[in-house]
A and B are shown apart, each in its own frame.
Chain A
Amino acid sequence: NAGVTQTPKFRVLKTGQSMTLLCAQDMNHEYMYWYRQDPGMGLRLIHYSVGEGTTAKGEVPDGYNVSRLKKQNFLLGLESAAPSQTSVYFCASRDSPYNEQFFGPGTRLTVL
């Protein structure tokens, strides 16, 4: 089992460019999450999904969109990147609202 994987690992964008981050899990988990973590700060929830075809807003959803067309994949899109979106993005998944989450290794995004 690969667990939770994220693509790409690193990316540099220019202001105004768009991109999609891919999260994939092979554990058949229903629940998937996207977080961002700025240097020296805690995790902040961007969007999440409680099952295939569903999405919901987290704490900091502005500037991001998500899709969960397949159960194993959760995509995070930046429509028009801004320097304030420079961060490390973590994806996570779990099988139940009462169990622990498993995180991917993160994507380090820099917006110039």
Chain B
Amino acid sequence: RKEVEQDPGPFNVPEGATVAFNCTYSNSASQSFFWYRQDCRKEPKLLMSVYSSGNEDGRFTAQLNRASQYISLLIRDSKLSDSATYLCVVNGGAGNTPLVFGKGTRLSVIA
């Protein structure tokens, strides 16, 4: 089983739609969780951290289910500018292990 798995997409949605991405991780010792956004040919940038109780930042909501080891990202009222690849990221567990990045889910928001 891969450490972090995501549906690669692409998800093609109209403007204004709500879209959800899920991600599963294999290391039950992981303690930090993030969603990053990567635009074409650019560096990944932090979209939001994911907390156990769930958290929201404007149109974006992240949820964590530790028992099932999955993380979700919900985008409401999609904008054209939301078109990007969304990376699910999990810390590698105890110690200095590097973050583990999923391969990403590609989103295209269409006018």
Contact = CB atoms under 8 A, between A and B. Distances in A.
Interface residues of B, number: 22
Interface of B: 31-32, 34, 41-46, 49, 87, 89, 91, 95-99, 101-104
Interface residues of A, number: 21
Given A42-B101, A97-B97, 17 more contacts: A41-B103, A42-B102, A43-B44, A48-B98, A50-B96, A88-B41, A97-B95, A98-B31, A99-B32, A100-B46, A100-B89, A101-B46, A101-B99, A102-B46, A103-B44, A104-B43, A106-B41
Contacts of A74: none
Interface string A4-32: 00000000000000000000000000010
A77 interface: no
Interface of A: 31, 33, 41-43, 45, 48, 50, 58, 88, 90, 97-106
